[in-house]
Amino acid sequence: MKLYWCPRTRASRAVWMLEEAGVDYERVFIDVRDPVARADTGFLAASPMGKVPALEDGDARLADSAAICLYVADRYAPGSLAPAPDDPERGRFLYWMFFAPGSMEPAMAEKMGGWQPNRGAHGWGDFDTMTRTLEEALSEGPWLLGDRFTAADVMVGSTAAFMKMFDILPESDRIGGYVERCLERPAYRRAQELDAAG
Ligand SMILES: N[C@@H](CCC(=O)N[C@@H](CS)C(=O)NCC(=O)O)C(=O)O
């Protein structure tokens, strides 16, 4: 399996996910800031938009961190990092998997860009509704599906860690504690070390 990767990007999520799943993979560095490197044909076959992360696994090629995390969990850790399709928790799992790209990331852009919130018109709601929803979801914890850590925590936890990095994490012991639990996971730490090593 090849992971097209660049340090200090969303590719760190995919590394975290692969480390959680404990599968063998090779990291292939693509400097996304360099148009020549981004034109690599193998990379573009997996990532039509020329963005990292992207994954090549046998004949399977895909990009986008949420798609990659779901693919790896379903393919390599079914029933543990991803509830099976007939598991009653599958629905809740899918909701939180897509909460990160569908609501958290655009709401972060709203906040950091100073956009006018427009909850009814914007698909992501607004920043305050997004953070309140996340806080409510963590009322039982320690993870989004209670005692069960899943790929949804990789997506939501990594996005909340980005919020912390950008200094827009809301004052909330519940969300703050969740982020700390994510940062303490051995697989997250390995991903950070790999990121730092380059
Ligand atoms: N929705 C995508 C976003 C990926 C993305 O925007 N990656 C950035 C780095 S964090 C990138 O490759 N930027 C280079 C470019 O767009 O030219 C995901 O979650 O994987």
Residue 85 lies in a domain: no
CB 63 within 8 A of CB 48: yes
Cis status, amide bond into 142, omega within 30 of 0: yes
Question: Which protein residues touch ligand 1 with a CB less than 6 Å away?
Answer: 9-10, 32, 50-53, 64-65, 101
Does this model's pTM top 0.85? My answer is yes
How crowded is the C-beta side of 186, counted as CA atoms within 13 Å? Answer: 4
* Residue 164 confidence (pLDDT): 97
Angle between helices 65-76 and 151-165 (to 10 degrees): 150
Range of the domain at 138: 90-185
pLDDT in tens, 26-81: 999 999 999 999 999 999 999 999 999 999 999 999 999 999 999 999 999 999 99
Query: Is residue 95 domain-shared with residue 144, that is, in the same domain?
Result: yes
* Residue 198 confidence (pLDDT): 82
Query: Is residue 54 domain-shared with residue 105, that is, in the same domain?
Result: no
Given the CA of residue 53, which atom of ligand 1 is nearest to it? 20
Query: Is residue 97 domain-shared with residue 51, that is, in the same domain?
Result: no
